[in-house]
Amino acid sequence: MENSPTLESLQAALDAQQAVFEMHQAMNVEVFYWWCTAIMLMIHAGFLAYEMGASRSKNALAAGIKNILAIALIIPAFYLFGWWIYNAFPNGFVPIEAAAALPWAASMGPDVQDMGTGIFWAAFALFGATTGSILSGAVIERIRVSAFLILTIFLGGVVWIMAGAWGWHPDGWLLTEFGYHDVGASGVVHAVAGFFTLGVLMNLGARKGKFIDGVPQIISPHSLPMTLIGLMMIIFGFFGFLGGCIIFNGGETGWTTIYGTPTNLSAFAFNTLMGFAGGIIGCYIATRDPFWTMSGGLVGIISVAAGLDIYSPSLAFIIAVTTGIVAVQFAKFLEKRGIDDAVGAVSVHGFTGVVAVVLVGVFAGGTPNAEGLPEISFVGQLIGAAVMGLMGFVPGYGLSFLLKKANSLRVPEACEDIGIDEVELLAKPYPEGGVPAMTDLTTSEVPNKLANSET
Amino acid sequence: MGSSITTWENVSAYFTFADNPFALVLFAIGTAAIIAGLIISIIRHENAAFEKIK
């Protein structure tokens, strides 16, 4: 009987098994967010393709280079101060202690004991890069690359993450005071970025030739197919983005929303896909236009993202269809008021993001939050939506206004005529000719703009 | 020269200069300087390019 297990030896074996289980669970968390982050990079591949395609060929590379540099600059900026802002400002503008998130903290680097900080930082850095890139398409063909980079660092490294600290952090004041619910970042990313973009566009002005005697003209993309493929790549990337919005908990908790309420990937899957489909249909109904139809996929996902965990899928579909139709009208509204948003970013992201946040209050008011927090309410969502819109618009307008005053916002008119690629990049996208879709601006009948839509 | 550990026993943060906050601050400043320097260089490049087409 000498080899019979004792109570102590059984306990030791159980403890060893528990340690193995916990290590593998921590590794699974890392693996999940690692691949979410990798998939999110597809959003940037998509932005790259669709913004280059949306430009005229003389500006295609300039559109691309600012996109590439935006990612390269937002990532270190988010390391330097973005992560700290998220952890330091849940209460508003007065920081709390968050020294562990500063770039010189021991926790901000490889650590055997910490299998969370780096992978969460990476996901958030890519959220920031996505936010900064939303501005990118709207301002093509006339913004200075330097001005864009200053603006996008500010948006992707500071502005959105401040809003994230308020509306996404477990102690964020919008959550603790108003029960704010925005699981898929319709507000903290899309509304903020969209209205930041609106502020910039108001100072930047329209592309030369966009308005003649106040009447909007068609400026055709040089490669509409490239824009469509790019938009579909963004949709693919959104599965990484939205996966990164869910919390993979250790222990027996399982999946939760970023607010600590129970959910799972199945919930996200239902409504992401139904929103995607609905948005496409809504924008197609409203325009019959390929670019807007594909953009509708984004509108649809963003329109339901705030309530991705709680909507019934059919309701999500109806919300997405309706928002898709209305978002097109909002884009027309902006264009009639002299705003030249080359890719409809203000409407697709800003307007839809705000609507999405409000609709959670309309359809899901009364849903409980985690214990001790106010329930979801229409008023709370309305306040949250207003905060997100202002949080984007005010900094966007303010900083671009300063750049404009310094004569540093826009390329000179001669550069706009020749094309930024030739003047600034000394490169041509199609050096051997064969440029697709080089058309006269005023006679193009390519049906890709709002002016040609039926509704 | 920058290793912050001498053994893998009971290691936590183990990256280079993890035990030297002064160095980490310097690296952060260097990172910020590179970002700022790049933007300044782009502004200069743009100004020079725009000057040529005047």
Scored b (16 or more CB within 10 A) or e, B5-36 reads beeeeeeebbbbbbeeeeebeeebeeeeeebe
pLDDT for res A1: 53
CB contact under 8 A, B39 and A111: no
Evaluate if residue A434 carries a pLDDT over 70: no
Residue B40 has pLDDT above 60, yes or no: yes
Contact A103 B24 (CB under 8 A): yes
Does the structure show a pLDDT above 70 at A442? Answer: no
Which of B4, B5, B17, B24 is best to mutate for the A interface (most A CBs within 10 A)? B24
In the predicted model, what is the mean pLDDT of chain A? 93
- The domains of chain A are located at 23-430
Mean pLDDT computed over A317-337: 97
- Cα distances (Å, whole numbers) of residue A345 to A34, A135, A390: 28, 7, 16
d(C-alpha A318, C-alpha A256), whole Å: 25
Cβ contact B50–A423 (<8 Å): yes
Chain A residues near residue B27 by CB distance under 8 angstroms: 103-104
pLDDT confidence tier of residue A455, bands split at 50, 70 and 90: very low
Write the class of the CATH domain A23-430: mainly alpha
Per the structure block, which two tokens stand in for A278? 């609905």
Determine the Cα–Cα distance for residues A7 and A280; give it in Å rounded to an integer.
63
The H-assigned helical ranges of A345-377 are 345, 352-364
Q: Report in angstroms the alpha-carbon separations of A372 from A175, A176, A259, A261, A306.
A: 11, 8, 12, 12, 21
d(CA A24, CA A22): 5
Model confidence pLDDT, tens digit, residues A164-196: 999 999 999 999 999 999 999 999 999 999 999
Q: What is the pLDDT of residues A114-142, one digit of tens each?
A: 999 999 999 999 999 999 999 999 999 99
Q: Quote the pLDDT of residue A219.
A: 93
pLDDT digits (tens, 9 = 90+) for A259-278: 999 999 999 999 999 999 99
A 53-82 residues inside an 8 A Cβ radius of B: 73, 76-77, 79-80
Which of A111-125, A366-380, A438-452 comes out lowest in average pLDDT?
Answer: A438-452
The residues of B whose Cβ lies within 8 A of any Cβ of A are: 11-15, 18-19, 21, 24-25, 27-28, 31-32, 34-35, 38-39, 42-43, 45-46, 49-50, 52-54
**Percent of chain A at pLDDT above 90?**
90
CB contact under 8 A, B14 and A110: yes
pLDDT at A4: 85
Please give the pLDDT value at position A436.
56
**pLDDT higher than threshold 70 for residue A443:** no
Using the beta-carbon criterion (under 8 Å), do B50 and A113 form an inter-chain contact? no
Q: What is the pLDDT of residues A7-52, one digit of tens each?
A: 999 999 999 999 999 999 999 999 999 999 999 999 999 999 999 9
- DSSP designation for A206: P
Amino acid A444: pLDDT: 47
What's the per-residue H, E or C state across chain B?
Answer: CCCCCCCCCCCCECCCCCCCHHHHHHHHHHHHHHHHHHHHHHHHHHHHHHHHCC
Compare CB distances from B53 to A77, A103, A418 and report the shortest one's residue: A418
Q: Is the pLDDT of residue A440 over 80?
A: no
pLDDT tens digits for A374-424? 999 999 999 999 999 999 999 999 999 999 999 999 999 999 999 999 999
Say which of B28, B38, B54 has its CB closest to residue A103: B28
Whether A439 has a pLDDT exceeding 50, the answer reads no
Across the interface, do B45 and A112 touch by the CB < 8 Å criterion? no
User: Which residue of B35, B45, B46 is in closest CB contact with A77?
Assistant: B35
Tokens for A225, please give them. Answer: 């197919």
Q: Which residues of A touch B42 (CB under 8 A)?
A: 145-146, 149
From CA A167, how far away is CA A174, in angstroms rounded?
5
A48-66 pLDDT, tens digit per residue, is 999 999 999 999 999 999 9
Spatial distance between the Cα atoms of A346 and A327, rounded to a whole number of angstroms: 9
* Closest among A220, A195, A189, A179 to A43, alpha carbons compared: A189
Q: How many CB pairs under 8 A join A and B?
A: 79
